[in-house]
Amino acid sequence: MMKIEQKITPFLWFDSQAEEAAEFYTSIFSNSKISHVSRYGEAGKEHHCREPGSAMVVAFELDGQEFTALNGGPMFQFTEAISFQIDCKSQEEVDHFWNHLSAGGPVEAQQCGWLRDKFGVSWQVVPSILGELLGDPDPEKSGRAMEAMMGMKKLDIAALKRAHEG
């Protein structure tokens, strides 16, 4: 199978956890791997202040999607303004991604299918059917589904369907 070149690659700035994060993420998603790690050397040490041999840039794939991670220092932090949405076909998938990605992350950041992982990256763990339920032309059905979703942390497909049906 021929690989399609990806034009846009998400680039994640970490303080010093890029390699650890890439290992964590690739352990959760199937069809995933660390493609390449570039390491800091002696050259430029007076500017980058990193130990020679420590990871500088980590290229990795999650389910075939390419990402790049940089250990660039503490000056930039992740916010919920950017998140990665995971399309889940089943409750089993929702549970898998939610349980693994939320491990070690702040509980207070969990709501309506959103979570922040232990590195500060935000994820939306979303069942595929959610758009259909929320987009139902019957405003009562879609409203009940929306209200149910707003009261959840991890999304529960069966509960969303029950609320939708009334």
pLDDT for 109-126, tens place per residue?
Answer: 999 999 999 999 999 999
What are the tokens at 110? 């969990």
Cα–Cα–Cα angle for 109, 120, 4, nearest 5°? 115
Q: From the centroid of its chain, how far is CA 70?
A: 16
- A 10 A CB-CB count for 112 gives 15
Q: From the centroid of its chain, how far is CA 10?
A: 11
- Asked if 161 contacts 153 with a C-beta cutoff of 8 angstroms, the reply is no
CA 152 – CA 106 distance, rounded (Å): 16
Q: What is the pLDDT of residue 49?
A: 83
Q: What is the pLDDT of residue 6?
A: 87
What are the tokens at 148? 């149910």
Residue type, 133: L
Reported as a single tens digit per residue, the pLDDT across 66-88 is 999 999 999 999 999 999 999 99
Q: What is the pLDDT of residue 44?
A: 77
In which residue are the tokens 């991890």 written?
A: 154
For 72, the 3-state DSSP assignment is: coil
List domains and CATH numbers for the chain: 11-71 (3.30.720.100), 83-165 (3.10.180.10)
Residue ranges of the chain with per-residue pLDDT less than 50? none
pTM metric for this prediction: 0.92
Q: What is the pLDDT of residue 4?
A: 67
H/E element, 12? strand 11-14
